[in-house]
Structure 1
Amino acid sequence: MLAAVAQCLRRAGVGAGARLCCALSGGVDSVVLLALLHRLRPEVGFSLEAAHVHHGLSPNASAWADACEAHCARLGVPFQVLRVAVDPAHSGGPEAAARAARHAALDRVPCDWMVFGHHQDDQAETLLFRLLRGAGVAGAAAMAVSVAAAPGRPGRLRPLLGQRRAGILEWARREALSWVEDESNADLRFARNMLRHRVLPSLEAAFPSAVPMLARACANFAEAEGLLADLAELDAQTCGGRIWRASSVLGLSVPRQANLLRWRLREYGAQAPSRGRLEEALRQLATATDARPLRVALGNGWACCVYRGVLWVEGVEEVSVQAREWRGEAALPWGSGLVRFECGLGVGLSRVRLQEAERLVLAARAPGVRLQLAPGRPRQLLRKLCQAAGVPAWLRDRMPVLWADDAPVWVAGIGIACSHACAPDEAGVMPRWEPGARAGA
């Protein structure tokens, strides 16, 4: 078992100087994991700490935290308790609520790798649980041994995922380790407990290799999911890269459209939508035209938008945007997207006129603002210009506007103020808004 953990660390690239944190529940799996990591620490050279999530759901919760603290003290491992509040109204029920709170807390721990004690029996249980909820290929892949770090979250390691729970128990007893037992693990009202105590034992009675075979199926699903991700990445590049041409996306088969949207949501760290919601979104997307902009909810706080032949995915909470001073950067973040500033000759905004301004700010529109798009034409209310250009109401408050002091000189989707337009032979800069393009830009 020690060799299996060491191999997992090597494959993940864990070496000297890496910061590991063991997610220590106090149960036998995490206690064994901590002991194994503690033994490997001098050899590999990583730093090690432990974190315990205090849910406050059990009358024994504080005693479990104390037991974890004492265990770490004996090993000389730094320890912290993370207290969380579990959402009683969580749509997935108390199990899902506790899991969400736990992972959110652990994701905030400053480390390179969060290490979990999940084992092969957990993997089989997770697969059955997700299949019974109608999971797709990604869900059926269950848990991965190694997941790379993402913005705001450390990497995740599960070195015991190939080990049976019986072997972990045997190792713990041989080493005379002590651990706590969560009384809720025996409550058959919880779906996972029913699978653990009733369904999996029955399966193993009929099929002795059920657990390793289910774990092998997870590996097969993970391989298939990797191929689907490769396909989605190719489709994304074909359709435009970070933001997509709507016509190119709609030219794909419906399953590839669905795969592309799921992949982009996972790339943004979002949960995939339900099949019903995704099918409805794709049905509505098929009706989008340049004259009919569209914003369709995908659920879980995300939406898919189509405007002027461009299709993107954004968070629905991106209603307000932060004003930012522009000092010549090639790009500035704007909501869930970017505004790029491209240099050219005779296009866009006059650099000379821009340099005359004391301050250039990228900000949202202001009430009553007017813009003159061409000499001899009247200065029109931006609201009227948006209506004439077919800018949908849901997009107007988040459209970026470049202000030269107190004057708007460029409005995304509308145009450039004639007072600051570049002459044919003059150096200019053209702002371009890419909604939903910020991640990975």
Structure 2
Amino acid sequence: MYSIDDWKDRLKKRFTFNTQQETIAIDPPPATKFRRVKGTAGSGKSLALAARAAVLASQGKRVLVCSHNIALLNYLEEDLVKQFVNPIPLKITFMHFHLWCRSVCEATESMNRYDQLWNDYPNKQEVWNYGMGELVSRLYDEDIPNLPTYDAILLDEGHDFRIDWWITLKKAITQGGEALFVCDKTQNIHGTAQAWTEQEMRGCGFTGAWMELRKSYRLTNNIIPILKNFYNQFPYEVGHEGPDIPEQDPSYGTEVWDNLRWVQVHPGRSPIDACIKEIERLHDDPAIPFVNFLSGKKIGIPIVGEFKRRDKNIFSTHHEDWRISREAKLNLSPGCAEIVATTVHSFKGWETPYLIVHVEQIRSLEDRAAFYTALSRLKRNNNGAVLTVVSSCPELEQFGRENFRDFKI
């Protein structure tokens, strides 16, 4: 088992953790035991959370790593926590909220009550939003046998969580246990971040000051001004604290040439054909090993079908059957195929140096947050990152002209 000094030495030498990340990962939490971290895209907040999970497990603590995003848990487990401890101890459990709710019902032999939810609520979305959490909350209140408990619960992408979900999850923390809430409210694609007011957070146990990670170690310095310009031109609700826009990393210069391209699709031209053309362009480049394509399901399904018809090596989470789509999300990773097609909702938390994004509209606040989040998935590459935006949104044409050197119609 590593001592605290051993962990500090490992994190500084092997992972170049900054002081704030090291504090999150190693230092015992304050008296309240509940800490909150806000970090910009690419600031290493998930990495710090993963390190904290490894440190706690090395101390014999039972840890639940949770999020709303199904695909993100695979990334946290396989790509992050394993960097610190491999094999991963059984003390660490990785589950998205709805799977955790089901697991509680299974452990307590309450599946009959779980199955009844699908009859009690008008649709599956209501079951996911309200039914599961309310049922599990009642199970903990009833204190029935075999309820799972944890010494620590670490919540990534906390801004995607409903407050009532957290209140339920909190009941599984042992007395004196700790919690870590990690978020970036600027990636508010579900429209839930603004509910986490200071008053609500204090009511949920997070009474200490925010810990902040502002510098991005993943994003290229060329994309950060574009993110700032987009938010300034198309603002959306993120809470009273305002947006968390990444700060540029001075150690990573702008001399690295990134291929930033914008293709504006005017009415009368098919956005599907335009996306296929751009995917082909990158896929046929021998210097690009894989392409990540982010779009909505309406655009994604026919594009995936076309590449499958051509017998291309493609992986997709787009499917008419939500059960098949849900299963695919569990196996999602940026380079799992030569072409990877998914939604920004599923890709949130991941990163890639080879990215194509289709944007159809920015009418709602969630639309704007989704586009910002999609752009912020771009990862540094020594040979330059590649980003192509295919826009069939007229409101964004001028933005594309002003911010992308390679602008096409």
Looking at both structures, which has the greater relative contact order when contacts are Cα pairs under 8 Å and sequence separation is at least 6?
A: 2
Scaled by the length of structure 2, the TM-score of the pair is 0.25
**Looking at CA atoms only, which structure, 1 or 2, has the larger radius of gyration?**
1
